[in-house]
Structure 1
Amino acid sequence: MTVIHSLPLLFGKKATTPIAFIKAMVLAYQKYGMDPASALRKAQIPPKLLLDAKARVTATQMEQMSALAMQELDDEALGWFSRKLPWGSYGMLCRASLSSPDLGIALKRWCRHHRLLTDDVILSLDVSSNVATISLQENRDLGEMREFCHVTLFRYMLGYACWLIDSRIQLQDVMFAFDKPDHAEIYPRLFSGQTSFNAGQSAMHFDARYLQLPLLRDEAMLQSMLRQAILLTVLPYRRDKLLVQGIRKQLHNDLGLTAEELAEKLHMSVRTLYRHLQEEGFSIQQLKNDVRQKKAMECLARTSKPIKQIAFETGFKNEKSFSRAFKNWVGTTPQNYRAQAREDAGLKD
């Protein structure tokens, strides 16, 4: 399945992928009594590199090695489980969840159908206090393959979920039930949010609102993605559909926030904030105007506050400038809008 074997764990041409992940695949060859020499040669990974715990390979080498291993071993799980997951197993999971109405249902189906493939590990999706949690319960000692298995399964689910909704999913944190590895410095490139180790259970946490987003893919798109997964599921998504909602919420509480203050509240740099907004086709000023307009319309329709007060509360220096802006937004004056709103509601002055 291309979604899986074209899923390198790190990106770019720089050799930053830990050799530990390559060694985990070599262990799979040993498990099945097969020689990894050909795969290592085709991926241009010298065998002596396996002896250096600090060695790194490129994302391309990682992708080539995993693709060759999965096909040669006919096991998309690369030896993790008590039985092989034949070629196409994870493609089946994609198809089984593709018809879901939203991401939450899709991920629940993924977890449920993954259990049909193996019960050596159990993937689960739970929601509590507006936080979604994807957890991994290990029912079989994975030994030296443990880290690679946990990391890769989370990368599979996260990459596919982002592709389904065409949005980056910002993790709040990710925790792993194994000791902190010597190459822990690469984890921020694998997962957003804070990473911790030695947890009771491996899990990822993110805003549950992502689960409500509808799927934007169909069978034809899936077929294309399976052929070119490195372009559609591996490259990290930059667009985050909850970002604009978050900015609007902050501005609703305080219209005077600057870009620097917004970035700080959203836990990102100003440069990243502007880049995300550009990708979404918005500007801070545009979002401020949207919030001003919505607040003004709500106040005019639902309260008896003087227009001068509403002007001040929505960030205008005087009633005149507010009225001019409101007419540009809605096509009528605040007074006329209020009168029409009261009439529509059956109210009398």
Structure 2
Amino acid sequence: MKSGRLLAVLLGAATVLFVVWGTLWPVKAAQVYAPDKHLVRSSGTPAAALQNLTEDIRSQSWQKAYDSLANKAQFTQTDFMHDLTGAYPNLRTYAHLEKVETRPLHESDSDAEYQVKLHWATVVGDAVQTRDVHAVRNGGNWQVQWPVTKEPALPPQVIPVNYLRWDVIYRGAGDDWGSQDVDAPHVRIIDMHPVQRADGLVIMGELLNEDVVPAYVAVNATVLNKNKQPIANEGSFDKISHLLLPKAVTPFLIKFPEVNLSSVGSVDMHPFSQLIPASADPVIEIQNEKLNPAPDASLTGEVVNQSGQIANIAHVLGTFYDKDGNLVWVADQYVDHALLPQTPVPFNIHIPEDLARKITSQRTVVSTYSMGGAA
């Protein structure tokens, strides 16, 4: 017991010593990135100027980042912030810049071109923003010219609203309904396929709302071994359209990391549904869809908000089939900025190269989330 206490004391003393040492004599890497040190960072090269700018964006030092730009006279600081995080609430509004990739395209004594990929960490994963930026020499330093993309200004107009809406009245505490209440919508799994991938087992399929009322849906799956013992249990978190209108179909995809299909004897599937109020607005139209072949296989297109309200987040789900109509793959993309009315926004859903050659058709659905509820 005494030796244990002595070890704990020694470890505590060593921890305090290392903290003090690191504070008084920080390593160079810490000097570059430690906050609140107000260190002077050189912009003697275009790469250094670009790194300084992205570090200011990462720390949300908007005034400092804006002041460093060579073309700041062309737009306001608010325009600059909105270009990066959005003028309306969206995925990037609450994200932080996690990683930056830069690739030089051209460099001379007076100017340089770079491709910049900003990786934003959002609640649903990585969102990538790609820009081609120009840098210019200004005396002994370099400055970045940031290419601000402004949102289009829509003219004042009246958009007629004509859509279905479902409201739900539940039994309250003072209502004399007995045990009576509103039943959950009837939903059914109409297709299911287990597939082995490099990172584990994937179960994908399609779910139908066969009722006449809207439903909030989810799918849980339990994989069992040959002896009917559970191996793992997972659910469809974001690879599904959770709000299903009557007679609508959503794909789903459930991942079981590090589970091998050869060890699975059976799969126990459980669809879940709950009646919720919903409307068929906003109406999102899909335009210019195209299946692009391997090696860079993808589904591209545009989503257009046909309503008069802003959709803060859009989730595009692609279901892919072979020539016989069999399900091959399910993939998705979150549009990381708000959908303004009547404004096309591109999407690009990646398709694994080994599956792309089997795909001949697709079906695309879009879920939207607006402040105050989903649609």
TM-score (norm 2): 0.19
Structure having greater relative contact order (Cα 8 Å, sep ≥ 6): 1
Q: Decide which structure has greater helix share.
A: 1
TM-score (norm 1): 0.20
Q: Decide which structure has greater strand share.
A: 2
